[in-house]
C-alpha cells in the first residue's frame, strides 16, 4: 500500500539544504507502484515533481503538488565477450553504480566518479565530467509514461543527448518517470585522460599507465579539492552551464579579454568556462547573506546555512546580470529551478 505523506519537509531531500516542503510526498520502491499511484486520477491532475537525489534542484518555494521520490533499486550485469551490459534501477545512487563497476574492472564510467544523485536522473541532463558524458555508455532507458500509464523504452538516438541536455528536458519534460537505465561498458579499458587535471594528478602520483581504479581515485581527488561537499555546505554543483557561443562572438570577447578560458566545441562554436567569467566579475568566494559562490569554484553557488531558495535565485540573477554587462554573454542556469 502506497504511503502518501502530507506537508513533508524536503530539507534532507535536496543537496542545497533548502527548507521547502511538499504538499504531498510519496516514495516509489517498485515500478508497479507507479501504476498503482496513477490509478487515482487526483494525482494526474495535480502538479508533480519527480525527485531523485535532489542534487540538481533549487526550491524557490514550497511545492504545491505531489513529489514522487524514486527509490527503485537493483543492479544486473552480464558479460558477453569483452562487453559488459548493466541495467540499474533509477533509484540506485549513481556513485554506488560507479563503485560497483570500478571494483569489477568494468570500464567506461570511472571518469564520472563521485557525481551525486541517482541513476534515473543521469540521462536527464546527460551527466558529464572529466571528458566523458553519460551518452558515451548509455544504451537505453525504460520509463513510465504518466498520461498513458505505459512503460516505454528510449534508445540513445531517441534521447537526443547534448551538452547537459536531452529530450527529457525538452519535449518530454515532466511527462515520464525513468525506472531503469541500461549501460554498455567494457572489459577493455579505454582510459580517457583528455582533461588536463587528470594527467597532472597522475604525474604527481608517478602513474604512467593508470588502471580504471586509479582514474576513479584521481577524479575523486580532484573533485573533492574543488567542489564543496553537500553534506557540509549546501550546493547543487555547477549552477550555470558553460556558455557555447559562435566563433565570431568568441573573437570579439577574446579581443577584449585575451586570457578568456575556452574550448573548441565543433561546428564553429566555442565553449567558455563560466567559472572564469564569474570570477572575473569579482564573485568568487563572495558571501552574500546566507549564500554566495564557492571559494574554489565560482560556478558553484552555496548555502552557508539558513539560505532560502529566493536568496540563492536572486544571487544567480545578479551574477547573470554582471556577466552580461561585462562580457555580453548570457549565462543559462543548469540547476532545475522549482518555483
Ligand atoms: P534530482 O536533482 O533529483 O533531479 C534532477 C532532474 O531530473 C529534475 O528535473 C527531476 O525531476 C528529474 N528526475 C530525477 N529523477 C528522475 C527520474 N527517475 N525520472 C524522470 N525524471 C527524473 N552533474 C554533472 O553532470 N556533472 C558533474 O560533474 C556534477 N557534479 C556535481 C557536484 C555536486 C557537488 C553536486 C551537488 C551536483 C553535481 N552535478 C553534476 C549535478 C547532479 O549531480 C546531476 O544533475 C545528477 O544527475 C542529479 O541527480 P539527482 O538524482 O539528484 O536528480
Ligand atoms: N575557472 C576559473 N575560476 C573558477 C572556476 C573555473 O577561472 O572559479 C576556469 C579555470 O580555468 C578552469 C576552468 O574554468 O580550468 C574549468 O573549470 P573546471 O575544470 O572546474 O570545470 P567547469 O567547466 O567549471 C565543468 C562541469 C562540471 C564538471 C567539470 C569537470 C559544467 C557546467 N560543469 O565545470 O560539472 O564536473 O567540468 O568535467 O559543465 C555540474 O554539472 O554540476 C558539474 C560540477
> Model confidence over 117-134: pLDDT tens digits?
999 999 999 999 999 999
**Predicted confidence (pLDDT) at residue 1 exceeds the cutoff of 90:** no
Domain count of the chain? 3
The percentage of the chain sitting over the pLDDT mark of 90, rounded to a whole number, equals 99
pLDDT tens digits for 24-75?
999 999 999 999 999 999 999 999 999 999 999 999 999 999 999 999 999 9
The percentage of the chain sitting over the pLDDT mark of 70, rounded to a whole number, equals 100
Q: Whose CA is nearest to atom 16 of ligand 1?
A: 121
**What CATH number should be reported for the domain holding residue 277?**
3.90.78.10
The arithmetic mean of pLDDT across residues 1-18, rounded, is 97
What range does the domain containing 287 cover?
234-338
DSSP state of 239: S
Q: Residue 252 has what pLDDT?
A: 97
- Same structural domain for residues 34 and 131? no
**What CATH number should be reported for the domain holding residue 25?**
3.30.43.10
Task: Classify strands 21-28 and 63-70 as parallel, antiparallel or unpaired.
Answer: parallel
Of the three residues 54, 70, 86, the one that is the final residue of a domain is 70
**Predicted confidence (pLDDT) at residue 287 exceeds the cutoff of 90:** yes
Is 195 within a domain?
Answer: no
- Same structural domain for residues 263 and 326? yes
298 contacts: CB under 8 Å, gap ≥ 6: 275, 276, 278, 279, 283, 284, 285
Is 162 within a domain?
Answer: yes
Is 32 within a domain?
Answer: yes
**Predicted confidence (pLDDT) at residue 208 exceeds the cutoff of 90:** yes
Is 123 within a domain?
Answer: yes
Q: Residue 194 has what pLDDT?
A: 85
Choosing from 31, 164, 180, 316, which is the catalytic residue? 164
- Same structural domain for residues 159 and 109? yes
Is 216 within a domain?
Answer: no
Q: Apex CA 23: angle with CA 17 and CA 24, to 5°?
A: 100
Q: Residue 288 has what pLDDT?
A: 98
pLDDT tens digits for 326-338?
999 999 999 999 9
The arithmetic mean of pLDDT across residues 92-104, rounded, is 98
33 catalytic per annotation? no
Residues paired with residue 165 on neighbouring β-strands, in sequence order: 162
- The response to whether residue 119 sits with its C-beta less than 6 Å from ligand 1 reads no
Between CA 84 and CA 186 the distance in angstroms is 5
Looking at ligand 1, which atom is closest to the CA of residue 49? 11
- Same structural domain for residues 106 and 51? no
- To the question of pTM greater than 0.95 for the whole model, the response is yes
Across the chain, mean pLDDT equals: 97
Q: Residue 130 has what pLDDT?
A: 97
Residues with CB under 6 A from ligand 2: 129-130, 226, 237-238, 241-242, 261, 273, 275-276, 279, 284, 297-299, 334
Is 203 within a domain?
Answer: no
Is 226 within a domain?
Answer: no
92 catalytic per annotation? no
Between the alpha carbon of residue 258 and those of residues 65, 183, 261, 271, the distances in Å are 49, 41, 9, 15
Is 228 within a domain?
Answer: no
* Count of beta carbons in the 10 Å neighbourhood of residue 285: 14
Candidates 218, 180, 174; CA nearest to 196 is 218
Q: Residue 126 has what pLDDT?
A: 98
- Same structural domain for residues 30 and 84? no
Amino acid at each position: 500500500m502506497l504511503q502518501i505523506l502530507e506537508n513533508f519537509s524536503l530539507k534532507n531531500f535536496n543537496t542545497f539544504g533548502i527548507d521547502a516542503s511538499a504538499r504531498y510526498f510519496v516514495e516509489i520502491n517498485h515500478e508497479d507502484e507507479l501504476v498503482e499511484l496513477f490509478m487515482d486520477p487526483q494525482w494526474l491532475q495535480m502538479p508533480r515533481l519527480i525527485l531523485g537525489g535532489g542534487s540538481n534542484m533549487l526550491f524557490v518555494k514550497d511545492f504545491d503538488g505531489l513529489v514522487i521520490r524514486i527509490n527503485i533499486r537493483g543492479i544486473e550485469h552480464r558479460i558477453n565477450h569483452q562487453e559488459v551490459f548493466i541495467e540499474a534501477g533509477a533509484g540506485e545512487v549513481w556513485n554506488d553504480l560507479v563503485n560497483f563497476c570500478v571494483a569489477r574492472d568494468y570500464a567506461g564510467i570511472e571518469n564520472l566518479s563521485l557525481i551525486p544523485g541517482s541513476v534515473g536522473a543521469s540521462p536527464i541532463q546527460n551527466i558529464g565530467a572529466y571528458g566523458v558524458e553519460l551518452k558515451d555508455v548509455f544504451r537505453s532507458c525504460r520509463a513510465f509514461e504518466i498520461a498513458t500509464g505505459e512503460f516505454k523504452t528510449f534508445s540513445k538516438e531517441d534521447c537526443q543527448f547534448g551538452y547537459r541536455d536531452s529530450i527529457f528536458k525538452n519535449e518530454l519534460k515532466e511527462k515520464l518517470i525513468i525506472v531503469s537505465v541500461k549501460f554498455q561498458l567494457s572489459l577493455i579499458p579505454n582510459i580517457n585522460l583528455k582533461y588536463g587535471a587528470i594527467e597532472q594528478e597522475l604525474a604527481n602520483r608517478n602513474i604512467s599507465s593508470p588502471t580504471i581504479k586509479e582514474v576513479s581515485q584521481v577524479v575523486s581527488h580532484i573533485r573533492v579539492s574543488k567542489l564543496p561537499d553537500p553534506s557540509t555546505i549546501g550546493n547543487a554543483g555547477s549552477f550555470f552551464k558553460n556558455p557555447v557561443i559562435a566563433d565570431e562572438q568568441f573573437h570579439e570577447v577574446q579581443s577584449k579579454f585575451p586570457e578568456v578560458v575556452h574550448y573548441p566545441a565543433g561546428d564553429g562554436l566555442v565553449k567558455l568556462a563560466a567559472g572564469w567569467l564569474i570570477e572575473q566579475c569579482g564573485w568568487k568566494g563572495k558571501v552574500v547573506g546566507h549564500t554566495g559562490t564557492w571559494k574554489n569554484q565560482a560556478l558553484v553557488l552555496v548555502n552557508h546555512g539558513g539560505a532560502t531558495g529566493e536568496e540563492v535565485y536572486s544571487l544567480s540573477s545578479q551574477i547573470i546580470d554582471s556577466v552580461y554587462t561585462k562580457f555580453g554573454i548570457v549565462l543559462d542556469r543548469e540547476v532545475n529551478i522549482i518555483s
